[in-house]
Chain A
Amino acid sequence: MNLGELKNHEKELHFFQLRIGFAGFAVLAAFALLFARFFHLQVLQHDTYASKAEENRISIVPIAPNRGLILDRNGVVLARNYSAYTLEIFPARVKDLENTIQALAELVEIQAKDRSRFRKLHAEVRNAESLPIRTRLSDEEVARFAANRYRFPGVDIKARLFRQYPYGDIASHVVGYIGRINHKDQEKLAELEVEANYRGTDYIGKGGLEASYQQELHGTTGFEQVEIDAGGRGIRTLARTPAQAGNNVTLTLDIRLQEIAEAAFGRRRGALVALEPATGGVLAFVSKPGFDPNLFVDGIDPASWAELNNSPDRPLTNRAIAGIYPPGSTFKPYMAMAALELGKRTQKSAINDPGYFEFGGRRFRDSKKGGHGHVDLYNSIVKSSDTFYYQLANDMGIDAIAGFMGKFGFGAKTGIDLEGEALGVLPSPEWKHKRFRRPEQQKWYAGETISIGIGQGYNAYTPIQLAMALATLAANGDMYRPHLASYIDDQRTGERRHIQPALVRRVALNPDNVEFVKRAMAGVNREGTGARAFGSAEYTSGGKTGTAQVIGMKQGEKYDEAKVSERHRDHSLFIVFAPVENPRIALAVIVENGGFGARAAAPIARTVLDYYLLGKVPADDSAGAAANGDEEESD
C-alpha cells in the first residue's frame, strides 16, 4: 500500500465515519420525535385518553342480520330462518375442553355426532368467539343448564337463527346450503372488502343460490353499544343500530313443477333443466340424486359428510351445470339446421341408408340394423338416422360444425346465476391441439368428424347447455342467459329489482329453415321416436330422443369397478319444447345409464310438460311404468 492510497483510504474512512455520525444524529432526532409524541399522548393528553379507555368499557357488539329468504315463483318459501337455543363454548376461555364437554353431557344430551362436529369446527374455524356443542336445545335442557351455569365458565346459551330448507333434498342443487365461514371464505370476504359487515356473522352460502346470491341474502350488520364489566361481560345495552335483514330472492322456478320432475326421476340419477325460451328463466332444475341441505346448517357431522362425499352416486355434484354428457342424437336437429344454413343440404335432400357409412375402410354403423332405406332430411330427424348424419358430418367438416354449434352455446358457459358451471367440450382441431400433449394425439383425423355428427365422439355438454340451445332454437335464434332469480326485494329501499332477461345473442337463422327443423321435431313426437311418450299429448310439442354411449367416452369420473357394467349402460336423453307454435317451455333431460332416450328420459319430460302446460298431476308410478317400455325402440 503506498502513501497515496493510504491517505485516500483514511480520507474515505473519515468520510464514512462522518456519515455514521450523521446517521446517529438522525436516529436520536427520530427517537426524540417519538418521545415527544409519547409525552404528548401519555402526559399532556393523558386525561383525555384515560377517559377514552374508561369509555372503552363500552364495547361495540355486532348484531348479525337475518338472512334473506329464498322463494319460488309463487312465493313458496324454499329457505327460511328460525330461532333456537344453542349451547356454546368459548374455547379460549375453557381450559379443559374434554372435561367440560363431559360434564355438560350430564346436563344435556350430547351425542358422539355433536362432539365430532364440535372438534371439526374447532379445528377449522378461525377467530371464532364461541362454537356450538349442541344446537336446538329443548326448553327443559335450557332450564337445566341455566341452573348449573355457574359451574361452567366459558359456556353459555345463545339464541341463534338457523337456516331451514323445508323441501329438504328437493331442489337442493338450486337452493344450495350455508355453512360456517372458514379460512377461505374469510380471505374472499377480505378481498371483497366486506369483512366489517361480516363481524358477527358465522355462516355463509356454500353452494347453489345461497352462495351465488350471498351478498344479497346477507344483509347489513347492526351494532349494539354494550357496557361491559372489567371481565368483559355485558352489563347493559346503551344504544343500538338495528341490523338490516338480507334481501329476499324470488325465483323463476316453480317448486310444484320441480317436485313433479324430481318424483318422475324416482331413484335414477340424472339431470333436467326446463327454461322459458322467451326470457331464459329456469322453470325446473333437477340434479339427481340431491342431498338434504339441512344437514349442513349447523355444521355437518363427519359421518354424513363422508357418506355424501364418497357415494358413487356423487350427490354433491350439480349434474345440471357440472355434469358433462355426450348429447347423442339430440344433436341431430342442430346438425340439420347447420346443413340447411350452410347450404350443405336442402329440405329435399335424401339418401339411401344401407345401415352403415363407410369411411377410410371403416364402417360406421346405424343403430338400426339394415338401415332406414330411403331417408330425407325430415325423416332423418323423425326416425333418427345415424347414416344420414355420418355422411353429413363428413361433408361439412369439423370446422364448419364447430363454428355453427358454437353459436348455439355448445361448449361455452351459459352464465347461469350459479357457481361451478362446467365448460363441456365443443370438439374442434384447436380444442384437440390444446387438450392433448403428444403431437400424434393433437392432430384431428377426418374419421373423428363422422361420429361428431350423431352427437358422439368428443362431444360433451352440460344439461344446461342442451336446454339453452333448445330454448334458442325454440325462440327462433334469440338466446337468453338462463337465470334462476326472478326478482330481489331490497329490504332497505323496499324496491323490487327484477332480473331483466339478458339477450346473449341473436343467432341469424333463415325462418324457413327454423320452421322446417321444428316441424321435423314435432314429427318426432307425433310419429317418430318420441311418439310412444308424446303421441297422446293434448298439446303440440317438438322433441328429439338421444342415447349417449358411455363406453369409450371417458371424460367423466372413474366408476367403482364392481358396478362398471351397470354404470356403463347408455345414458338416456330427451329434449323437447312445447307448444310448437309458441313455445313456453324448452327442456333437456338426461337419465344416467337409462338406456334408450325414448324409454327413460322422454316419459319424464312428458310428466313435466303435462303439469306445466295443463296442470296435470301424475298419478303415482306413471313414470315408473312408462320406463318399462320394450327394448326394440330405435333412437
Chain B
Amino acid sequence: MALEIAGISPRRLAARMVAGIDGPLLALSLALVALGLATLFSASFENPGRVSAQLANLAVALTAMWLVAQIPPQTLMRFAVPAYLCGVALLIAVALAGDVVNGARRWLHLGVTRFQPSEMMKLALPLMLAWYFHRNEADLRLRDFAIATLLLAVPVLLIARQPDLGTAVLVAAAGCYVIFFAGVGWKVLAALGVLGLASLVPLWGMLHDYQRRRILTLIDPTQDPLGAGYHTIQSTIAVGSGGLTGKGWLHGTQTHLEFIPERHTDFIFAVFSEEFGLIGNAALLVLYTLLIARGLMIAANAATFFARLVAASITLIFFTYAFVNMGMVSGILPVVGVPLPFLSYGGTALMTLFIGIGILMSIHSHRRLVQT
C-alpha cells in the first residue's frame, strides 16, 4: 500500500487502518485536492480562513470515505431503497415547506442547520437504479427500463421544479449512466435521445427567466455584461489571458483584482487556469482522466452487477462534474451551479465526492469475495 501511517502505530493497526483503501484512487483525489487548496489560497487572499476551513472539510470527508470503504457492497445495496425513498420524501418536504433562497426552494430546515436533499440524490439515485437492475438481472426487459426511467424522473422533476436545473441535470445524468450500463439497447437509447431533445421545447417554457437568460447569454455574453454575462466574460478572459504557462501562482490579475465572481466555488477553475495556464489545465485533465480510468477499471472488475453499475455511474459522475464545470468556465456550456470536483471550496460537495470514492474503494476491495 502506498499510504503510510506515521510509522508510530503497530503494524497490525496500520494494516487495519488502510484495509480497503485503494492507493491510486486516494493519491489521485488527494492530488486534485492539493491543487484545489493551492488555488483556494490564491483566490481567498482577502479571507485566508477559507483554506483552513476547507482542510477541516477535507478531514471530515476523508473520514466518511474511510468509513464507507469498510462497508461491503452487499450492505450498501441494502441502503439503496431506504436512501432513495428518504431522499424523495425529503424532496417533497422541500417542495412543500422548504426555505426559499435566491428564488429557489432548495433547502430544508433541520433545527439548527439547513440541508439540501437534492445533494443526497446524487448518490441515492444511482444506488437505487443499480439495486433495481441487480434484482432483475437475469431477465431485463424493456419494461424494467421503463420503470427505471420512472424512478429517475420523480426526483429529477422534483429538483428541476425547485428550480435547480444544474443539480437536476447531474442527478439525471447519474441515473442515465446506470440505465446505459445496465444494457439498454442502442435503439432504445437513440429513441430516448430524440425524446429528450424533443422535450427541450416544453422545458424551455417551464424555465424561469433567469435560467433562460443564462442560456441566451451563453450565445452572446455581451448582451448582459453587468448581469448574467459577467461571469462568462470575466472567466473566459481569465482562462485566455493565462496563456501557455499561466501568470504564476498568486499572480492572476483577474483573480486578485476581484473580477472573477464566485472564485472560491464554482469558478475556481478560472483562477487555476489563469495562474497555471494551458500546461496546468493539461495536468488537471490528465489527473481527472487517470481518476476516471481507475474508476472504470474498478467497475469492469467488480464482482456483482450492482457493484459494476454503481462503480461505473459514480465514475462518470466525476467526469460529468469536471466536464460541465470546466466547460462553463471556459464559455462553452451555460452557467449552472456545478462545482469542480475536489477543487471547489465547500464541505457538502467534498463530502459527496469522497463518499463516492469510498464506494469505489469498497467495490474494489470486495471484487473477488463473491465470485469464489
Seen from chain A, the residues whose Cβ lies within 8 Å of a Cβ on chain B are: 12, 15-17, 19-20, 23-24, 27-28, 30-31, 33-35, 37-39, 41-43, 45-46, 48-50, 52-53, 56-57, 59-60, 92-93, 187, 190-191, 193, 195-196, 199, 223, 228, 230, 232
Q: Is B77 an interface residue (CB 8 A)?
A: no
Seen from chain B, the residues whose Cβ lies within 8 Å of a Cβ on chain A are: 46-47, 100-103, 177, 180-181, 183, 209-210, 226-227, 234, 236-244, 253-254, 256-259, 273, 277-278, 281-282, 285, 288-289, 292-293, 296, 299-300, 305, 308, 312, 316, 319, 323, 326-327, 330-332
Q: When the two chains form their complex, are residues A56 and B259 in contact, meaning their CB atoms are under 8 A apart? A: yes
Q: When the two chains form their complex, are residues B308 and A31 in contact, meaning their CB atoms are under 8 A apart? A: no
Q: When the two chains form their complex, are residues B289 and A42 in contact, meaning their CB atoms are under 8 A apart? A: no
Q: When the two chains form their complex, are residues B327 and A20 in contact, meaning their CB atoms are under 8 A apart? A: no
Cβ-closest chain A residue relative to B228: A196
Can you name 11 extra interface pairs (CB under 8 A) apart from A16-B181, A50-B240? A15-B183, A17-B300, A23-B177, A23-B312, A35-B285, A42-B239, A52-B237, A53-B240, A53-B253, A196-B226, A232-B257
Candidates A16, A49, A92, A232; contact of B236 at CB < 8 Å? A49
Q: When the two chains form their complex, are residues B278 and A19 in contact, meaning their CB atoms are under 8 A apart? A: no
Cβ-closest chain B residue relative to A191: B103
- Please, which residues of chain B bring their CB within 8 A of the CB of A196? 226-227
- Please, which residues of chain A bring their CB within 8 A of the CB of B281? 35, 38, 42
Q: Could you tell me the distance between the alpha carbons of A20 and B183 in the complex, rounded to whole angstroms?
A: 11
Q: Could you tell me the distance between the alpha carbons of A24 and B300 in the complex, rounded to whole angstroms?
A: 11
- Please, which residues of chain A bring their CB within 8 A of the CB of B293? 24
* A interface majority secondary structure: helix
Candidates A34, A53, A56, A193; contact of B327 at CB < 8 Å? A34
A609 smallest CB distance to B (angstroms): 47
- Given A34-B330, A38-B273, A60-B226, is A45 in contact with B240 using a C-beta cutoff of 8 Å? yes
Q: When the two chains form their complex, are residues A56 and B254 in contact, meaning their CB atoms are under 8 A apart? A: yes
Q: When the two chains form their complex, are residues A20 and B299 in contact, meaning their CB atoms are under 8 A apart? A: yes
Could you say which of B236, B243, B258, B259 has the most chain A C-beta atoms within 10 Å of its C-beta?
A: B243
Q: When the two chains form their complex, are residues A27 and B289 in contact, meaning their CB atoms are under 8 A apart? A: yes
Cβ-closest chain A residue relative to B279: A42
Q: When the two chains form their complex, are residues A56 and B257 in contact, meaning their CB atoms are under 8 A apart? A: yes
A580 smallest CB distance to B (angstroms): 52
A240 smallest CB distance to B (angstroms): 15
Q: Could you tell me the distance between the alpha carbons of A427 and B312 in the complex, rounded to whole angstroms?
A: 65
Q: When the two chains form their complex, are residues A27 and B237 in contact, meaning their CB atoms are under 8 A apart? A: no
Q: When the two chains form their complex, are residues B254 and A53 in contact, meaning their CB atoms are under 8 A apart? A: yes
- Given A15-B183, A20-B312, A34-B327, is A187 in contact with B277 using a C-beta cutoff of 8 Å? no
A12 smallest CB distance to B (angstroms): 7
- Please, which residues of chain A bring their CB within 8 A of the CB of B316? 23, 27
- Please, which residues of chain A bring their CB within 8 A of the CB of B288? 31
- Given A60-B226, A232-B258, is A34 in contact with B308 using a C-beta cutoff of 8 Å? no
Q: When the two chains form their complex, are residues A187 and B102 in contact, meaning their CB atoms are under 8 A apart? A: yes
Cβ-closest chain B residue relative to A91: B46
Cβ-closest chain B residue relative to A51: B241
- Please, which residues of chain B bring their CB within 8 A of the CB of A60? 226
- Please, which residues of chain B bring their CB within 8 A of the CB of A38? 239, 273, 278, 281-282, 330
B218 smallest CB distance to A (angstroms): 13
Q: When the two chains form their complex, are residues A41 and B236 in contact, meaning their CB atoms are under 8 A apart? A: yes
CB-defined A-B contacts under 8 Å, sample of 26: A17-B300, A20-B181, A20-B299, A23-B177, A24-B292, A24-B296, A34-B323, A34-B327, A37-B332, A38-B273, A41-B236, A41-B331, A45-B240, A46-B241, A50-B240, A50-B243, A52-B240, A53-B241, A56-B257, A57-B257, A92-B46, A93-B46, A187-B103, A190-B102, A191-B103, A230-B253
- Please, which residues of chain A bring their CB within 8 A of the CB of B177? 23
Cβ-closest chain B residue relative to A192: B103
Cβ-closest chain A residue relative to B308: A16
Q: When the two chains form their complex, are residues B180 and A53 in contact, meaning their CB atoms are under 8 A apart? A: no
- Please, which residues of chain A bring their CB within 8 A of the CB of B273? 38, 42
Q: When the two chains form their complex, are residues A20 and B46 in contact, meaning their CB atoms are under 8 A apart? A: no
Q: When the two chains form their complex, are residues B296 and A41 in contact, meaning their CB atoms are under 8 A apart? A: no
Q: Could you tell me the distance between the alpha carbons of A495 and B234 in the complex, rounded to whole angstroms?
A: 39
Q: Could you tell me the distance between the alpha carbons of A24 and B319 in the complex, rounded to whole angstroms?
A: 10
Candidates A33, A37, A42, A232; contact of B243 at CB < 8 Å? A42
Q: Could you tell me the distance between the alpha carbons of A257 and B79 in the complex, rounded to whole angstroms?
A: 72
- Please, which residues of chain B bring their CB within 8 A of the CB of A33? 332
Could you say which of A38, A191, A230 has the most chain B C-beta atoms within 10 Å of its C-beta?
A: A38
Q: When the two chains form their complex, are residues A48 and B240 in contact, meaning their CB atoms are under 8 A apart? A: yes
- Given A46-B241, A193-B210, is A19 in contact with B296 using a C-beta cutoff of 8 Å? no
- Please, which residues of chain A bring their CB within 8 A of the CB of B102? 187, 190-191
- Please, which residues of chain B bring their CB within 8 A of the CB of A43? 243-244, 278
